[in-house]
Amino acid sequence: MAPKPQPFTLAVVDSAIAELRDRLARTRLPDQAPIPPGGDPWCYGTSAAYLGELVAHWRDGFDWRAQEAALNAFPQYKVPLHGIDLHYLHVPGKGPNPTPLLLMHGWPGSVFEFLDIIPRLTDPAAFGGDPADAFTVVAPSLPGYGLSFAPGQKRFGVHDIAACMDELMTGVLGYRRYAAQGGDWGGSIAACLGALHAGSLIGIHVNLLAIRRDASIFVGELSPEERTYRDELEHWQKEETGYQWIQGTRPQTLAAALADSPAGLAAWIAEKFHAWSDNDGRIESAIDRDRMLGNIALYWFTGCIGASFWPYYARMHGPWPIPDGRTVDVPTGYAQFPREIMRPPRSLAARAYTDIRRWTVMEKGGHFAAMEQPAALAADVQAFFRSLRESKA
């Protein structure tokens, strides 16, 4: 018998909010390393000046209860699954025949990424769209993240998460087949589902492609696009992968610092929001500050930061999300945002994804597409699955 979900409402106790403010008030900020003339204050990591400003706002200007209420506006549940209590949003679609859509975040994200895009996906008519494009959205907190974390619970890699997600959709919720969408680890999990659980899927849509990031993918004479990507990949590996190495090799050590210091946690996460979003130099030009802090605060209140690192450790010590010798053969759609961390050309992507049916180059946006460009991402997801709905009918 499938486990029975229980309704859930997030309610952080007042004492935890007071303790957070007390810790923020006692923050000891680092000094700022000298910046070269005309240099970027973020060139060595999180700007000390910005961090001081962010900590002050988090302490005195941020309203956690407003963010909590925004999340609680959606139906939420918890269900015992794969040895943990899995949290998820389950939002019915408003249309003649809504398609079930598994919507997955990554790191350093959470279900807070989806608060603006879910209404567009579940009720397109409210935004001038066609109700026939409606989805019923299932948006889990990934195992080990946020409200799907409890101290001491087992850790999950991408393959483990994919198996858990498939059982949630088919075994718990009873959907025979479903659509999947994700970015960051969510994109990797969608790819893993497409490779290992294809029978459950209508198709997948991703905004980050899970193709290998090493020299083995460059074979023979390279096209101009492949040479450009090779150069971008070399720069990424040299300048941007430090977080992957520490999270993938010594997650417990880093967790000790970030679980104890909210300012440190904010610095670690905000740096990625700065580096990976399509902003003008300030995160807030791309992402609302309070929504970002809602996401960071969820990591803080749940104490999940160490567990959230585990997919990195599992990847460095285990298989790639798409196992060797396997490909993703389900219908695939891809939205390429200009400030995404990696943008491989279609020729390389097609080696791993054999049925790419939609490849959209977006005008604006970055890694946190659901937060930065919810209308554009929702429209692309709807357009991709529209043809699959028609073929299914």
From the candidates 184, 278, 290, 380, which is the catalytic residue? 184
The CA–CA distances, whole Å, from 92 to 46, 136, 139 equal 39, 5, 12
Flag whether pLDDT at 205 surpasses 80: yes
Is residue 312 flagged as an active site residue? Answer: yes
Average pLDDT over residues 182-208: 97
Tell me: the pLDDT tens digits for 256-306? 999 999 999 999 999 999 999 999 999 999 999 999 999 999 999 999 999
In this prediction, residue 390 carries a pLDDT of 60
Number of helices followed by number of strands (H, E) in the chain = 16, 9
What residue ranges define each of the domains in the chain, with the CATH number in brackets?
Answer: 49-392 (3.40.50.1820)
Confidence label for 391 from pLDDT (cuts 50, 70 and 90): low
User: Is the model's pLDDT at 231 over the cut of 60?
Assistant: yes
Of 77, 312, 334, 353, which residue is the catalytic one?
A: 312
Kindly state the average pLDDT of the residues 89-106: 98
Q: Distance (Å, rounded) from C-alpha 231 to C-alpha 225?
A: 10
Grade residue 393 by pLDDT with cuts at 50, 70 and 90.
very low
159 is catalytic: no
The one catalytic residue in 175, 274, 367, 380 is: 367
Instruction: Tell me the C-alpha to C-alpha distance, in Å, between residue 157 and each of 1, 106, 143, 168.
Output: 26, 12, 9, 16
* The pLDDT of residue 177: 97
Residue 219 pLDDT grade (very low, low, confident, very high; cuts 50, 70, 90): confident
Q: What is the DSSP letter of 34?
A: P
What's the whole-number mean pLDDT along residues 144-157?
Answer: 97
Handedness of CA 374, 100, 299, 252 (dihedral sign): negative
Is the per-residue pLDDT at 194 higher than 90?
Answer: yes
Residue 349 has pLDDT above 80, yes or no: yes
The chain-wide mean pLDDT, for the chain, equals 96
Catalytic: 313?
no
Q: Report the side by side order of strands in the sheet with 356-361.
A: 6-7, 76-81, 84-91, 135-140, 99-104, 178-182, 201-206, 332-336, 356-361
The pLDDT-based confidence of 181 (bands split at 50, 70, 90) is very high
Does residue 392 surpass a pLDDT of 80? no
